A and B are shown apart, each in its own frame.
Chain A
Amino acid sequence: MKKIVVAALVTLAAASSMAAQNNVGSCGWGSKVFEGKSGIAPQVLAATTNGTSGNQTFGITFGTSGCTQDGVVSSSWRTAMYIDGNRVALARDAAAGQGESLDTLAELMGVKAADRALFASTIKGNFATVFANDQVAVNLKSVLASNAQLAGYAAVI
């Protein structure tokens, strides 16, 4: 699983248990591209710019990268990074309409208990839209925004 990301070799050694930790901050390059632009969408775009395969590592170590400081994800990135880094499991849960990844997303976005069933069924019902391309976070934002009861949560992403 190797892929070149602008002068950074991102390798996920298939063998690795005690192996391969590569330290390429996924936000490092992406966030530079959108530097100077504010707002959520560019940030989310940045998170997904070099995450098209979804299998890049965020290889976080002690030090600073675009969206992490010493391995801790900055709050504005948490949701975007979770969506980007967890796409496979999230798609599975979204299709089934339930599961830990989906519950975790709801928790991360602060979805109230009363709204959680609707949150899950809305994502399931709009699966093809949300997972139409790599911009999962952006798509999710627009799907939530077009639902009267869930529109408030769109701002969180």
Chain B
Amino acid sequence: MRIRFWLMSVLALASTLSGMAHAASAADTATPSTYLQSLQQAARQQGLARSAMWRTLLHYSVQPLTRVDRSLADDPDFFLAPDGAHNPEHELDATLAAFFDPSAHHALDQPAACRFIARFQWLQEQLHFDAAQLPTPDCPRYTQWRQGIKADRATLIFPSAYINSPASMYGHTFIRLDARPEPGQTWSPMLSYAVSYAANGNEADGLAFAFKGLTGLYAGQFTNEPYYLRIRDYNDLENRDIWEYELNLTPVEINRLLAHAWELGPTRFDYYFFDENCSYHLLSLLDAARPELQLTRQFTWWAIPLDTVRAVTQTPGLLTRIQYRPSNSTELRYRAQLLGPQRARLAQQLSEETLSPQALAQQEPSPEQRALILETAERLVSYEATRKDSTEAATQKQRMALLAARAALPAGTPITVPTPIKDPTQGHDTARVDVMLGQRQGQGLVMLQARPAYHDLMDPEDGYQRGAAIQFFNVAFTKAANGHLQLESFTPVDISSLSAREPLMASKSWRVHMGLERSLATRADGTRPLGLNLRGGPGMATELMPDQHWLGYAFMDNQARWDRALPQQPWAVGSGIALGLLGDVNAQWRVQTEVFARAYLDKQPFETGLLVRTRYSLNKQWNLHAQCETTKRRETRVNQSCLLGVQRYL
């Protein structure tokens, strides 16, 4: 890729030189149409329609399965040629032609040269328009917008995932534009503008959102708004920590980024949750800023926000600084920790209105502690309100009373939540491949497993949320000593959310697993048919040690199973309980053990089982992993397997 890019650059340079000569030689007396033709010819000679920048500006991308090359924009108004969506050359010719038409009939009442200002600026650079024959237009609307957005620096913003909100499961990304303050002045990033691409839907219901998001039923849209609104949304309303990655884009590059953002503002894209999502399209803005980054090219099949952040931060020299903004729930947790259990209880009583702010002084003599208790109580009321989806207005009075009592106490020293040692980009890579050897029911077995995304309970926790595991499209193949390679399981979705109980905050634990897997029982002919397994249920988790290295959990263990090895009764529906322990012996070594017991309807046999897993990290890429499991139906052992192997993150 690099070599190809270098070659293209050389070719482009060579043709630029010849094109310059060509453009300059256009007769001064040329009519617009002949001047247009000479520009179109120069563009062809330079191969502009095939250049990385043109492809970025028009969002051309080769579909990995069909190999069809077309633009991802789903808005006919984004193209000037009838077949512009899949013909870069025609689109470039039509674009040049449209620049000669000053009539303002494009989106936001603009002429083409303003509506497509990034195209104009880039083509002007490449083809050196003769101002006498193709004047640079006034674009008052763009100019006003561009001046309104003070932008000397760009920062990539990553509100991290919050597992209990399905739509946010793996985060979001957008770009913040910061001004460089005048000498002696300050610039608060809260006043910066954030440019974001998002699905334009308002399903609070995760399932509807997921369905529409997977099927492209949402229109995605670019928006920009002051950053303080974003902080409020993520930190306060959704309780998500925000990570900020400042990039070293130059003012010229930021101009290009904004010019392209302007083109995308009124343009519709169909939104797809996995590939054409917020993060993917955001990368295209960075590609437009600095074409040689070629960031979108790294994401053919899916674009997980965290991976896109990593692609940016791992580009040599692009990252200058990382900053952290804790969410309200993080602030609350930290304050509760500072207060200790007894004082935290006072905060809780205040929030439940069983203790009045006035009566607090009798319980707590120290004004500093009273101030902290009141602040904590107010944050707790806010947190509860967002959890219950009640409006802020409902709790406004109570919160203001708590804060008014706080305001009556001395200011004291500000409280700062410490930044976690590892930011999300420093965690393990999200794809993983496992190779395991072992035995099943006394027979030798090799297992290959691949997981495109994202994080499992056994993976190292650094940079990820403790107890939150989410895996998509996990697929496993096995080869038994006496058989051939076969699909063992295919699991589109596997989520576990273990939220440990804490003094002030309610915590919901739940898990869900659904997929195809081979039957535990063997048919008369020795084969194990593929069936369906749907498992999950609510639960609870608790930290067993103050150092947070041992987590105990219990789940209601519901299961619906379709098992063709049992032809009389292939369907089984049951429920039971699962108890488990997840612990870190040291920084590299993690163990998990779980026991379950399930009873089934229709007199199906009672099932019990035990699972033990252990992982040892050799380094950031490689783990050793071992797992043993055994399952009994009544007294019959239907499954016993032990596997040992290596895992590699990609």
Contacts and interface: CB of A to CB of B under 8 A. Distances in A.
Most B CB within 10 A of own CB, among A63, A81, A88:
A88
B144 A69 contact: yes
B145 interface: yes
A131 B378 contact: no
Contacts of A11: 202, 204
B403 interface: yes
B201 A55 contact: no
A146 B141 CA distance: 40
A132 B407 CA distance: 13
Interface stretch (B220-228, B446-454, B465-473, B548-556): B220-228
A1 B390 CA distance: 6
Given A70-B265, A104-B228, A88 B414 contact: no
Interface string B222-244: 11111011011100111010000
Most B CB within 10 A of own CB, among A14, A100, A121:
A14
B225 A15 contact: no
Contact of B414 (A53, A55, A72, A96): A96
Contact of B223 (A60, A89, A92): A60
Interface in A25-66: 52-55, 57-63
A99 interface: yes
B445 interface: no
A104 B233 contact: no
Contact of A95 (B161, B393, B404): B404
Contact of A124 (B144, B238, B378, B411): B411
Given A72-B149, A89-B231, A104 B204 contact: no
A107 B181 CA distance: 11
A13 B403 contact: no
A80 B406 CA distance: 25
A59 B411 contact: no
Nearest to B331: A92
A89 B232 contact: yes
A23 B198 CA distance: 12
A153 interface: no
B436 to A, nearest CB: 34
Contact of B167 (A18, A70, A82, A96): A18
B399 A15 contact: no
A81 B141 CA distance: 22
Interface string A59-98: 1111100000111110000100110011011011011111
Contacts, number: 218
B198 A18 contact: yes
A62 B262 CA distance: 8
A82 B392 CA distance: 17
A95 B188 contact: no
A110 to B, nearest CB: 10
A3 B144 CA distance: 33
B403 A95 contact: yes
Most B CB within 10 A of own CB, among A18, A78, A104:
A18
A125 B224 CA distance: 36
Given A57-B229, A98-B411, A13 B167 contact: yes
A17 B172 contact: yes
B16 interface: no
Nearest to B207: A15
Interface on chain B toward A: helix, strand, loop, or mixed SS? mixed
A17 to B, nearest CB: 3
B193 A95 contact: no
A15 B414 contact: no
Contact of B191 (A16, A62, A82, A94): A82
A108 interface: yes
B278 interface: yes
B206 interface: yes
A12 interface: yes
A60 B237 contact: no
Contacts of A13: 167, 201-204, 209
A82 B192 CA distance: 12
Interface in B164-196: 165-169, 171-172, 185-188, 190-191, 193, 196
Interface string B241-285: 000000000000000000000000110000101000110000000
A23 to B, nearest CB: 8
Contacts of A107: 185-188, 191
A127 B389 contact: no
A101 interface: yes
Contact of A14 (B221, B379, B386, B392): B386
18 contacts: A12-B237, A16-B202, A16-B233, A17-B165, A18-B277, A19-B167, A20-B199, A20-B203, A71-B223, A73-B226, A85-B226, A85-B228, A95-B378, A95-B403, A96-B414, A97-B411, A107-B191, A127-B408
Q: Which 5 A-B pairs have the closest CB atoms?
A: A72-B148, A17-B168, A62-B265, A97-B411, A127-B407
Given A62-B266, A132-B400, 10 more contacts: A13-B167, A15-B166, A15-B204, A16-B202, A17-B162, A18-B172, A58-B229, A72-B193, A101-B228, A104-B190
